[in-house]
Amino acid sequence: MASSFPTTARFAGEQALTESSIHVSLTYDPLVSQSILDLVKSPSAGAIVLFAGTTRATFLDRHITHLAYSAYVPLALRTLLSIARYIKSAHNLVAIAITHRLGVVPIGEESVLISVSSPHRKAAWLGGEECLEKVKERVEIWKEEWFEDGGVWRANRDGAAGVKVADTQERTSGDMAGEVAMERGADPVEAGIHSDSTKS
């Protein structure tokens, strides 16, 4: 079942931001582990860590049919880049690459790949783990978890409660991005939140 949530228009290939030794991207295509590993390889790196987040078949004993991810792409890419810069600096990494899949992600396929390289393994392990937590906490990507009896919007964090998809159909990805910005202290007008007395 397709996402019921309006988002940035679907695009072919990937949309990416890159800097020296940093690559972040979003795509609707299946993810390829080797491609992201190649982005962080370096003669000065003695360790490379790859995290692959995959769609599992159950949640709390309920059968999942698939996941579907939506994003406000321009803002999500900027947030991914900000996280990557911070993680690379904080853990003295050689390179970092993050890619997240959008749209439907079937059971057993990857929704996110994070690859980091460093001179030694400890920094790579710690940097990769912190990166994943920050991606799940901060990036403007929303997850629909679909079961045989319907779907729920779930925060892109482990164990967070879901909201039935039908309860959110009138909201747009721009609304959600604005709400996230307001939670971070942005002005409502700058965040794109406008009051509308016609909605209850």
Q: How far is CA 140 from the centre of its chain?
A: 7
Q: How far apart are the first and last CA of the chain?
A: 28
Residues 127/50, Cβ–Cβ less than 8 Å: no
Token representation of residue 93: 């990494």
Mean pLDDT for all residues in the chain: 82
| pLDDT at residue 194 greater than cutoff 90 | no
Residues 102/112, Cβ–Cβ less than 8 Å: no
Which residue has better confidence, 123 or 193?
123
pLDDT at position 90, please?
A: 98
Residues 146/131, Cβ–Cβ less than 8 Å: no
Query: Model-level pTM?
Result: 0.77
Per-residue pLDDT tens over the stretch 13-50: 999 999 999 999 999 999 999 999 999 999 999 999 99
Token representation of residue 74: 């321009």
Residues 140/76, Cβ–Cβ less than 8 Å: yes
Least confident segment among 42-56, 98-112, 139-153 = 139-153
Average pLDDT over residues 132-155: 89
